[in-house]
Amino acid sequence: MGATRIVLLGAPGAGKGTQAARIIEALDIPHISTGDMLRAAVAAGTEIGLKAKAVMDAGQLVSDEIVIGIARERLSEPDASKGFVLDGFPRTLDQAAALDGILEEIGSPVECCLAITVETEEVVQRLLKRAELEGRADDNEETIRERMRVYDAQTAPLLEYYGEKGMVKEVLGMGSIDSVSVSLMSALEAA
Ligand code: ADP
């Protein structure tokens, strides 16, 4: 049948958002991106948005408490019962443990961790290009490098966390968008 409860892992610029859009369309499940939800909170000027803005602009992580709360709320919505692509969450080992707890309550554990791997210099270039096109506040070179450091230190250990559970499927994210999504879909079918 293939997995439908999916954690998408990859450095900033690896293409998680782009590929998540393809996967949710193919599998008809929701895309849950904590980055998108936080940017929406910033734009709406909510209390969470006010707390998160400076941290995000500096390329650092919003507190586990805030993002776990956001994820818990979103995962409890009815459409998440058919599966989900989590993009940008979990990003720390504590978030991963919290996610396991949330899903245990619902009785629907993570089935697959899809890891998109890319070379650092390639993703820095991609993000600098996105900065020109979209003007995201955290897409400047200094902040991009900080986000990479944060990824290596705090998020990359999740590969081991899910690896120990036998859930990781690694896919090279260096080709065209189409060829990467073909690889991702076949990894999911085999999961
Ligand atoms: P990227 O493509 O750079 O990985 P995202 O859109 O996923 O970007 O996230 C942008 C920013 O939002 C992060 O740099 C971080 O400040 C914040 N953020 C998103 N998800 C999380 C999370 N799970 N934990 C902490 N901070 C998060």
**Rounded-to-integer distance, Cα 173 and Cα 142, Å:** 23
Q: Is cis: bond before 90, omega within 30 of 0?
A: yes
Q: Sign of dihedral through CA atoms 43, 61, 138, 158?
A: negative
Residue type, 97: A
pLDDT tens by residue, 36-90:
999 999 999 999 999 999 999 999 999 999 999 999 999 999 999 999 999 999 9
Q: Write down the pLDDT at residue 146.
A: 93
pLDDT tens by residue, 105-156:
888 999 999 999 999 888 889 899 988 898 888 888 899 999 999 999 999 9
Q: Which two tokens stand for residue 77?
A: 């919505």
Give the count of domains, the chain.
1
Which of 138, 148, 190, 185 lies closest to 21, judged by CA?
A: 185
Confidence band, pLDDT 50/70/90 cuts, at residue 2 = confident
pLDDT tens by residue, 31-43:
999 999 999 999 9
Asked whether residue 1 carries a pLDDT value surpassing 80, the answer given is no
**CB–CB of 38/49 below 8 Å?**
yes
Buried b (16+ CB within 10 A) or exposed e, 48-65: bbebbbeebeebebbebe
Residue 50 neighbours by CB under 8 Å, 6+ apart: 42
Q: Using the mean position of ligand 1's atoms as its centre, give its distance from the Cα of residue 1 in Å.
A: 31
Q: Write down the pLDDT at residue 135.
A: 81
Q: Which domain holds residue 114?
A: 5-190
What's the CATH number where 72 sits? Answer: 3.40.50.300
**Rounded-to-integer distance, Cα 104 and Cα 55, Å:** 30
Atom 19 of ligand 1: nearest residue by CA position: 35
Q: Write down the pLDDT at residue 88.
A: 97
Q: Write down the pLDDT at residue 163.
A: 97
Question: What stretch of H or E contains 77?
Answer: none
**Rounded-to-integer distance, Cα 140 and Cα 99, Å:** 31
pTM given for the model = 0.93
**CB–CB of 123/13 below 8 Å?**
yes
Cβ of 37 below 6 Å from ligand 1:
no
Q: What are phi and psi of 165, to 5 degrees?
A: -90, 0
Cβ of 147 below 6 Å from ligand 1:
yes
Cβ of 10 below 6 Å from ligand 1:
no
